[in-house]
Amino acid sequence: GPRPHESDSDDLDEDDFECLESDDDLDLETQEPGEEASVKGTLDDLQSYMAQMDQELAHTSIGKSFTTQKQMEALSQTTNNNSDEEDSGAGESIMTPVDVDLNLVSNILESYSSQAGLAGPASNLLQSMGVQLPDNTDHRPTSKPTKD
């Protein structure tokens, strides 16, 4: 008999891709004036949401949880001069660039570690990219060491 329809995205036929929006559809130069105004309105709405979110988060300490490029430079220096660290901390009101790559990898690995070998978002994301991480042996209790 006929198989039930599977909803896996890998099973899409080429005809199914014709109805999906392409990057060409998003090009502002080739769109009609009404469509361009709609896209511009959407971008304005998105920017206003981002500005509002920035204002709300400015009063929290969430920004301090990210690793910034300035912090990485401080970690790479081998000098331990406390007065310099205190002076650099006084100018923290200036936004330092966030090291997005380091934060992404750190958060994915932390999530993967908290899954304790079970299925979860980090392992699913990594597997979809073809990445298979080994088991974390750093935090497992070891058996009694054998004597040579």
Mean pLDDT along residues 11-27: 53
Q: What is the dihedral of CA 127, 128, 131, 133, to 10 degrees?
A: -20
The helix, strand and coil proportions of the chain, stated in percent and rounded to the nearest 5, come to 55, 0, 40
Q: What is the pLDDT of residue 89?
A: 46
Q: Are 107 and 122 in contact (CB under 8 A)?
A: no
Query: Is the pLDDT assigned to residue 51 strictly greater than 80?
Result: yes
Higher pLDDT, 55 or 10: 55
pLDDT cut 90: percent of the chain above it: 20
132 or 85: which leads in pLDDT: 132
Residue 112: how many other CB atoms lie within 10 Å: 19
Q: Determine the Cα–Cα distance for residues 62 and 60; give it in Å rounded to an integer.
A: 6
Instruction: Say whether pLDDT at 108 is over 50.
Output: yes
Tell me what the pLDDT averaged over the chain comes to.
Answer: 71
Domain ranges of the chain: 23-55, 97-133
pTM of the model: 0.44
